[in-house]
Structure 1
């Protein structure tokens, strides 16, 4: 048992997993969450997220994604909860698109179980999609769907079972290095820690103003569509998908509850100046692009949404996260700015956070995510 005492500030997507990993390692860990557990004020809301290993954002992520899948399954085994459904994921777009090239590179370099379908083959197998003649679909058989709110709740509760403390509705007002440790002031009380892991999502730039020029919270809008043929969009018949090459980049999730199919835009809906004041209304004109893509690419779905929800995430200028020690410190670590594509990585990010707090280093490949790239 380590004598280390570690705080996790923000028990959401990444923080819940960090708390679980710390507790699992026998570390004295305390999680601070300013809202209730598994709230939907940031990036974990919306009841579903896609898991994929054939990665559009670059093959550098694949080793972490494979490690993350193993950890998702470990969390399921420890808790008996079903969190990850590996029903496959389709990556769709023009073969010439750089993001599709990244997908092909990912599956070939890392021997991901996959199949490449031309447009005719893809539409025959998955008539829920319409493809242009120059488009292909890469079926990532190691992909699927995650339940985010349940995952955050499950990881945090498992951490508590293993000995961690969880302080909900407890806002951290300051984090100050003091001598050999770090002092946290939360709800008017000071407490000393050896290390602090900050996973505050859209609030990250408020905690670390030095990143403010490169890190901004943005509004995310999720949309669900109805169909007369519900079975066509079940998880058995309709893999999760990501699509590029159209008017906007889109993603989709099967009808998990047997009613509506989630088709969303990867585009964001404006910067959020004050995270507490996230504006949750959506003008119908803002949905024009996603509705046009649904009408063009998904002939079996109604082309206007029956359900809309609003969330937010922190985006960096290069759309890659900040993961590592805060520049100039060996006691405070940041994991933030996942730019809309982080949830699938949450368990491995929790392990990385634990590694950094306990050992100062991690074996996972995070050099491209180093926070100092924005401060040098």
Structure 2
């Protein structure tokens, strides 16, 4: 055996699984096809939103709560500034489907929040140009996660705990036997007791056939703007935001670098043939709609995209992650398919994956994430 556990892919989830596994065993090895936090991974683009209020399955809430604790632990353990705690805004049409769904989920979870009227928004956050029928929900526990720092910090912490890391080592195959799991990269091979597959958009070729039909690689693009007055869009004055108003939608983060404000069209993930062939440039239509939306929503931003990029992620047919052992396997564990929404809970997902893959603890109430939901009865 070359170790108790291999973690394949050290991006958003894999880096956190490696860190958490290193707390449970000194016999874990991480494999990364490129280098940690490389510019083509799904975590690219400097920041991701963290929020405790959202629309959707309330079963995510305990993972969010634990993730918030773990982000603080990672900061304390590594001395890195990872989570910018600036609050968050969810903005939408009064009584519209977005806020109605969000507030229903929030009622069930009990997450702290405050409803802000049009007048209150104008007084507190004048950067937003709201429509007459818009309101906002403020999340005091929201903020922006620094993705590159988080990934590299988690890997550093894991190595400090005794984990090993092999970079520029893409895994070609996984073969399971009664004695262990053999993974190969070119002419090299290793044998482990258990394996976690966490290679995001590059995971598909390592999946069983029944899952391949339920997964798809999609392209996610991001865009940034410069503010007319930089201080008005600093984390101290400008929370993260998600806005769905009428036919326009956008999400973004404050200028954590002191210069550029992330403001990106929401829900624009589009299928792409493969993770390595994602078009990085925005199309004319994407540029036009982005600038039109920014011009309406944020008069304080200069309506010209100063930076843009695009990244691949693996989506499932129901947009829920794949967390659990694959098929009847008790050795190969999946932690992928996060469908463009995984980073805020990456630390929590990493803890779940490490504990379950090593047989230390099983987490109940997560049937909606298990890969077996796609198997034929």
**TM range, smaller chain:** over 0.9
Following the alignment from structure 1 to structure 2, what is the Cα–Cα distance between the partners of residues 59 and 92? Answer: 20
SS in 1 for 2:264: strand
Give yes or no for contact 2:56–2:105 (8 Å, CA) kept in 1: no
* Counterpart secondary structure, 1:305: coil
Which stretches of structure 1, 4 residues or longer, exceed 6 Å deviation after superposition?
none
Aligned-pair CA distance for 1:313: 1.1
Partner of 1:141: 140
Deviation at 1:205, TM superposition (A): 1.8
Distance 1:255 1:315 in 2: 29
TM-aligned CA distance change 1:260 to 1:299, over 3 Å:
same
> Distance in 1 between the 2:71 and 2:101 partners?
24
Per-residue CA deviation, residues 202-258 of structure 1 (Å, 9 max, x unaligned), is 112222143222211111111011221111100000000111234343211001111
Residue 263 of structure 1 corresponds to which residue in structure 2? Answer: 263
- Distance (Å, rounded) in 1 between the aligned partners of 2:28 and 2:280: 34
The alpha-carbon deviation at position 360 of structure 1 amounts to 6.8
1:18 corresponds in structure 2 to: 17
Name whichever of 360-369 and 203-212 sits farther off. 360-369
Q: Structure 2: which 5+ residue stretches go unaligned?
A: none
CA distance in structure 1 between the partners assigned to 2:324 and 2:250 by the alignment? 30
Deviations 1:17-49 (A, max 9, x none): 000000011241110100011112121110111
Please give the alpha-carbon distance, in whole angstroms, between the structure 1 residues aligned to 2:107 and 2:295. 33
Contact residue 8 and residue 199 of structure 2 kept, 8 A? yes
Shift, 1:95, TM fit? 3.8
Q: Distance in 1 between the 2:355 and 2:328 partners?
A: 18
Report deviation, 1:88: 0.3
Question: Quick check: 2:180–2:192 contact (8 Å CA) kept in 1?
Answer: yes
Q: Does 1:65 align with 2:98?
A: no
Aligned residue number for residue 283 of structure 1: 283
Q: Which residue of 2 aligns with 1:327?
A: 327
In 2: Cα distance, 1:80 partner to 1:37 partner: 18
What are the superposed Cα offsets for residues 91-144 of structure 1, whole Å, 9 maximum, x if unpaired?
111243444234323433333232111222222211111222332211100110
| TM-score of the aligned structures, taking structure 2 as reference length | 0.94
Matches within 5 A, 1:211-360: 211-268=211-268, 270-359=270-359
Shift in CA distance, 267/65, structure 1 to aligned 2, threshold 3 Å = same
> Aligned equivalents of 2:281 and 2:132: distance in 1?
38
Structure 1 partner of 2:49: 50
Q: Deviations over 1:285-339 (max 9, x none)?
A: 2222222211111121122211111212111222111111112211111111111
Distance of aligned partners of 1:58 and 1:246 in 2 relative to their CA distance in 1, 3 Å threshold? farther
Moved more, 299-308 or 155-164: 299-308
1:364: how far off? 5.7
Quote the residue 2:161 is aligned against: 162
What is aligned with 1:171?
170
Q: Summarize the Cα distance change of 1:134–1:16 in structure 2 as closer, same or farther, 3 Å threshold.
A: same
Counterparts of 2:99 and 2:203 in 1: how far apart (Å)? 31
Task: Provide the C-alpha distance between the structure 1 equivalents of 2:27 and 2:206, rounded to a whole number of angstroms.
Answer: 23
Query: 1:375 maps to what in 2?
Result: 375
Give secondary structure in 1 for the equivalent of 2:236.
coil
Decide which moves more: 108-117 or 136-145.
108-117
Instruction: Say if 1:293 and 1:161 are closer, same or farther in 2 by CA, change over 3 A.
Output: same
Given that residues 202 and 314 in structure 1 are in contact (C-alpha distance below 8 angstroms), is that contact kept between their aligned partners in structure 2?
yes
- What is the alpha-carbon distance in structure 2 between the residues aligned to residue 364 and residue 375 of structure 1? 20
Q: In structure 1, what is the equivalent of residue 152 of structure 2?
A: 153
Unaligned runs of 5+ in 1: none
Inter-partner Cα distance in structure 2 for 1:36 and 1:370: 29
Q: Paired residues, what number?
A: 374
Name the CA distance, whole Å, in 1 between partners of 2:269 and 2:54: 24
1:185 aligned onto 2:184: yes
Give the structure 2 partner of residue 104 of structure 1. Answer: 103
SS in 2 for 1:78: helix
Q: Distance in 1 between matches of 2:303 and 2:143?
A: 24
Separation of aligned partners in 1, 2:327 and 2:249: 34
Given that 1:62 and 1:106 are in contact with CA atoms closer than 8 Å, whether structure 2 keeps it comes out as no
Please state whether the residue corresponding to 2:203 is helix, strand or coil.
Answer: helix
